[in-house]
Amino acid sequence: MHPSHFTAVVLFALFASTVFGITMRNTPAKMLRYGIYCFVLFVGSAIVLSWLMYFIAR
């Protein structure tokens, strides 16, 4: 099984944001909020950068 690039980005974002949430905040509620925040930033920046590269390459 070979995941697509987007699937790989989402998996990386999920694992990295989980680690960031656990290590950067003290309470479980803050951990969850920060983890979701990091996940959204990872995936959002990947989408924005991929569109920028698409338009630059054309």
Dihedral, CA of residue 18, residue 9, residue 43 and residue 47, to nearest 10: 170
pLDDT at 35 > cutoff 90 = yes
Q: Is the pLDDT of residue 7 over 90?
A: yes
Report the pLDDT averaged over residues 12-34: 97
Share of the chain above pLDDT 90, in %: 93
Query: What average pLDDT score do residues 9-26 get?
Result: 97
CA distance 30 to 21: 8
- pTM to 2 decimal places: 0.89
Instruction: Let me know: does 34 contact 20? Beta carbons within 8 Å.
Output: yes
